[in-house]
Amino acid sequence: MPSGARRYDPDRRQRIIDAAIRVVGDRGIAGLSHRSAAAEADVPLGSTTYHFKTLDDLLVAALQQANEGFAQAVARSAALADPDADLAAALAHLLGELLAADRGRVELEYELYLAALRRPALRPVAAAWCEAVAAALTPRTDPLTARALVAAMDGIGLQVLLTDTAYDEGYAREVLRRILRQD
């Protein structure tokens, strides 16, 4: 390659985001830096600062990517699309599937999500996630109830992770039914 020529690498930005997610998964938010992301992505340090001027910019991109999974799972759920399906049961089942599929990934998502408490730049992304999941639920319920369902599922998921207990689908279903006033 001639001196001064840039290497064409259209996937570099995405590799840096993926690397940041791996670093946070392995070392936590405190372990993430431009240097650690660059090393994990096997790119020059300047690439991380080119694509993400601040560490918060990188965390925002990582949180956006991590958040996509649950909102998409809710939006794609066939049971949630069926107006005759038991919404509380479908949500409780979906939450259980997500917690069981990759607990480490869910822990990572919550770590990024809760980082918004200390990093204001992440708050709009965290709020957008809540809004996306609530929006996916509004065809089946009103917006206020949808937000309450999101809050309850968030709380139940967080409790399972923090207490290292098994997910109790029956408990989750009953809590969600009460929110939906199906008790």
pTM: 0.80
Residue at 1 is within a domain: no
Print the domain residue range for 20: 9-53
Say if residue 114 is in the same domain as residue 84.
Answer: yes
| 110, pLDDT greater than 60 | yes
Say if residue 90 is in the same domain as residue 166.
Answer: yes
Question: Using 50, 70 and 90 to split pLDDT, how confident is the model at 183?
Answer: low
The tens digit of pLDDT for each residue in 10-44 reads 899 999 999 999 999 889 889 999 999 999 999 99
The tens digit of pLDDT for each residue in 118-160 reads 999 989 988 988 898 898 899 899 999 999 999 999 999 999 9
CATH number for 29: 1.10.10.60
Residue at 2 is within a domain: no
Residue at 157 is within a domain: yes
Residue at 77 is within a domain: yes
Say if residue 35 is in the same domain as residue 19.
Answer: yes
Closest CA to 144 of 183, 108, 107, 180: 180
Residue at 159 is within a domain: yes
User: Would you state the pLDDT for residue 6?
Assistant: 56
CATH number for 126: 1.10.357.10
The tens digit of pLDDT for each residue in 81-103 reads 888 889 999 999 999 988 898 78
Say if residue 70 is in the same domain as residue 40.
Answer: no
Long-range contacts of 114-123 (CB under 8 A, 24+ apart): 115/29, 115/59, 115/63, 116/63, 119/56, 119/59, 121/54, 121/56, 121/57, 121/59, 121/60, 122/56, 122/59, 122/60, 122/63
| 5, pLDDT greater than 60 | no
Query: What total number of domains does the chain contain?
Result: 2
Say if residue 77 is in the same domain as residue 159.
Answer: yes
Say if residue 109 is in the same domain as residue 168.
Answer: yes
Say if residue 25 is in the same domain as residue 65.
Answer: no
Mean pLDDT of 162-181: 95
Say if residue 44 is in the same domain as residue 75.
Answer: no
